[in-house]
Amino acid sequence: METKNLNQNQPPKTWLLESILATLFCCLPLGIIGIINAAKVESRFKAGDIEGAKQASKQAGKWTKAAFWLGLVFAILYFMLAVLAEANG
């Protein structure tokens, strides 16, 4: 029971730093969605909406991870195409 009470005193992970970095270096549109959701976490938590804060945190994490992986896939594809273009002259 004490663990549950302790968790209610701390907001869920905001993902704000991660979503900003994913926006800058990986995928702009998905990163922005991550930032929007990350910004909702702390405000909802302070308003007493614990469940809403948890949901916003979950959404921010989802969009931030999607931005990272999509950016990584595009970077790999770009690198591969650049190498193929160079090889073909």
Number of H helices, E strands in the chain: 4, 0
pTM score of the predicted model = 0.83
Mean pLDDT of all residues in 17-25: 96
Mean pLDDT of all residues in 72-82: 97
Q: What is the pLDDT of residue 1?
A: 44
Please choose, from the candidates 26, 28, 16, the residue with its C-alpha nearest in 3D space to the C-alpha of residue 56.
Answer: 16
The answer to whether 48 and 11 are in contact (CB under 8 A) is no
**Which domain range does residue 9 map to?**
2-88
d(CA 30, CA 32): 5
Q: What is the pLDDT of residue 7?
A: 61
In the chain, the number of structural domains is: 1
